[in-house]
Each structure stands twice: as structure tokens, then as C-alpha cells.
């Protein structure tokens, strides 16, 4: 993994570049949506990372922290950093969805079941960050954050099945229909799949960078605390 880690950045940049070139110039316009279909190569991939990849990472890391045998502060930091990166992707998901919805639905925002549930998810994630600032005890903070992170993940199935449980404006599954039939073909399908790979690599690249920053911050804080304690001991002597 250490040998492959330096390749993550170049692979991310290359896959994103190819995705945008194919999405903007090489793939044909849609019969119904025309050039608006270009958002197909951005919006679904953002939602895929925001809801599934990031929350799978947060949930697994949180569960590993709560399990006594695998409880380490590394798992807490991974869950925390994944949640922060997820906020960025969910915000971009809502923004690109609004850009798509304005010409398609005639409005920037609609209280659609999937849109509303996704907006609630963003609010819950911000609440997660607020919870982490509410306690200075690292172990208490990590335990509470892990429990809350797993509870937030329960909203993911609601978002996923919202288009099936309720009558919504949002379109159903893009690549596969409920019957398992592929609804996207040719270069459009390959570009769409490449976008999923590209944005997934982007998530892990950002997660790795954010984790390294968080790790450095924790080490600086521990070193600063040790220095303060040493000064107080000298003063006492």
C-alpha cells in the first residue's frame, strides 16, 4: 500500500482529465436532454462517493473503533476525515443536482424525497463535526462520534430507496433499471463508469491528505501539551 500510495494522485488527475474530455467533447448529446446530459458524468459519481463510498469508510472505521479489539485512535481519525470529505461531496452533489434540476424540472430546488433526505444528511454531517468540538476528552469524543456516525449512515438506505418508496421528481436508477436492463450504452456508459472510478480515487486521495494533516495536528498538540506539563513541573520544583 505504501508503494501504491504515491500513484494515487497521478491516477486521480489522469482519470478525472479523461473523464472530462470524454464527457464534454467525445460523447454524443442525449436525444431528450441534449447537452444537459453532460452532467451525467459528474452528478451521479459525486452522489456515489458522498453517500456510499464515504459513509462505508466512516461506518467501518467507527465500528472498528467501537470494537474493543480494534479500538485505536487511527480508526477515529479515519472516520472523522472521511466525514469531512463526505461533506464536500454532498454539497457538490446538491449543487450539481440543482444545476441539472433547473432546466429539467424548471426549478432550482424541489422538496423531493431524495433531495430532502440528502439535505438532511448534510445537516447531520455538520452536526457530527459540531459534536466533535463539544468534548475535549479524546476517548469520549471518539466514542460518541463513532456512535453518531453509524446512526447517520442509517439515512443512506432512505436516500437510496426514496425514488421507489415515494413518488418523486428524481429519476430512478441511471445505469441499471429495476429489471436489470442497462439504460446507458456505448461511449456514454464507459464515460459514466470512468467517472465513478475517477471520483472514487479523488475521495481516497483527499482522505489520505486530510488524514495526514489531522495526524500532524494531533502530534503537534501532544507535543505542545507535553511541553506545557514539563514547564509546570519545573515551576513546581
Number of structural domains, the chain?
A: 1
**What helix, strand, coil percent values describe the chain, rounded to 5?**
80, 0, 20
Name 30's bridge partners. 34
Question: Which sign, positive or negative, has the C-alpha torsion 101, 13, 59, 77?
Answer: negative
pTM assigned to the model: 0.87
Tell me the per-residue pLDDT of 124-155, one tens digit each, with 9 for 90 and over: 999 999 998 887 788 899 999 999 999 999 99
User: What is the domain extent for residue 78?
Assistant: 5-236
Instruction: Give the pLDDT of the chain (237 residues) as one tens digit per residue.
Output: 567 777 888 999 999 999 999 988 888 887 778 888 888 899 999 999 999 999 999 999 999 999 999 999 999 999 999 999 999 999 999 999 998 888 878 888 888 888 899 999 999 999 999 998 887 788 899 999 999 999 999 999 999 888 888 777 777 666 655 555 666 767 888 889 999 999 999 999 999 999 999 888 877 766 655 565 567 776 765
Tell me the per-residue pLDDT of 4-41, one tens digit each, with 9 for 90 and over: 777 888 999 999 999 999 988 888 887 778 888 888 89
Q: Let me know: does 57 contact 146? Beta carbons within 8 Å.
A: no
Q: Let me know: does 197 contact 64? Beta carbons within 8 Å.
A: no
Amino acid at each position: 500500500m505504501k508503494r501504491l500510495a504515491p500513484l494515487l494522485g497521478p491516477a486521480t488527475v489522469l482519470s478525472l482529465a479523461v473523464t472530462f474530455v470524454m464527457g464534454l467533447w467525445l460523447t454524443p448529446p442525449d436525444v431528450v436532454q441534449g447537452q444537459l446530459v453532460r452532467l451525467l458524468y459528474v452528478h451521479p459519481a459525486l452522489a456515489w462517493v458522498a453517500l456510499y463510498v464515504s459513509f462505508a469508510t466512516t461506518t467501518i472505521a467507527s465500528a472498528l473503533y467501537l470494537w474493543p479489539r480494534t479500538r485505536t485512535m487511527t480508526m477515529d481519525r479515519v472516520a472523522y476525515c472521511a466525514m469531512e470529505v463526505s461533506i464536500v461531496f454532498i454539497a457538490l452533489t446538491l449543487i450539481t443536482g440543482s444545476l441539472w434540476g433547473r432546466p429539467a424540472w424548471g426549478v432550482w430546488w424541489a422538496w423531493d424525497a431524495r433531495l430532502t433526505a440528502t439535505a438532511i444528511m448534510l445537516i447531520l454531517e455538520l452536526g457530527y463535526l459540531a459534536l466533535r468540538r463539544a468534548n475535549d476528552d479524546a476517548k469520549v469524543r471518539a466514542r460518541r462520534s463513532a456512535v453518531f456516525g453509524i446512526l447517520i449512515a442509517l439515512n443512506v438506505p432512505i436516500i437510496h430507496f426514496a425514488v421507489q418508496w415515494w413518488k418523486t421528481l428524481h429519476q430512478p436508477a441511471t445505469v441499471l433499471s429495476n429489471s436489470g436492463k442497462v439504460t446507458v450504452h456505448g461511449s456514454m456508459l464507459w464515460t459514466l463508469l470512468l467517472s465513478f472510478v475517477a471520483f472514487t480515487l479523488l475521495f481516497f486521495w483527499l482522505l489520505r491528505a486530510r488524514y495526514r494533516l489531522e495526524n500532524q495536528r494531533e502530534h503537534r498538540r501532544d507535543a505542545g501539551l507535553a511541553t506545557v506539563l514539563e514547564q509546570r513541573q519545573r515551576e513546581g520544583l
